[in-house]
Amino acid sequence: MGKVLFLVGGALGFVIGMRVGRQGYDRLKQQASDLWSNPRVQKAASDARDFAEDKFPKTTETVTKVASAVSDTAKAVADSATA
């Protein structure tokens, strides 16, 4: 859990601290969106989720809630940085 928060924080720091400006941010955002939309990435994410749900049913629910909260926080910080 700590590693995930560290990576999210690092990514946010990178985005917020970029000197390239809005164009660089938009390019990074589009690349992330393209990556996440990639069918191979979606299959890998689905396979990982299915594996985790099979092996750790109660943990999966908790991780999903925490990941959602982290995602919401990251989005809010990124939105406020670009506003």
Of 27 and 80, the structure prediction assigns the larger pLDDT to 27
Distance CA 32, CA 64 (A): 20
pLDDT tens column, 24-72: 778 878 888 888 888 998 899 899 888 878 887 777 678 778 888 888 8
Number of domains in the chain: 1
pLDDT mean over 16-27: 71
With beta carbons less than 8 A apart as the criterion, state whether 63 and 52 touch: yes
Domain for residue 32, yes or no?
Answer: yes
Q: Among 30, 52, 48, which residue's Cα sits nearest to residue 40?
A: 48
For residue 25 the two structure tokens come to 């941010």
Residue 36 has a pLDDT of 84
pLDDT mean over 10-27: 73
Domain for residue 2, yes or no?
Answer: no
Domain for residue 8, yes or no?
Answer: no
| Residue 54 burial (CB count, 10 A) | 9
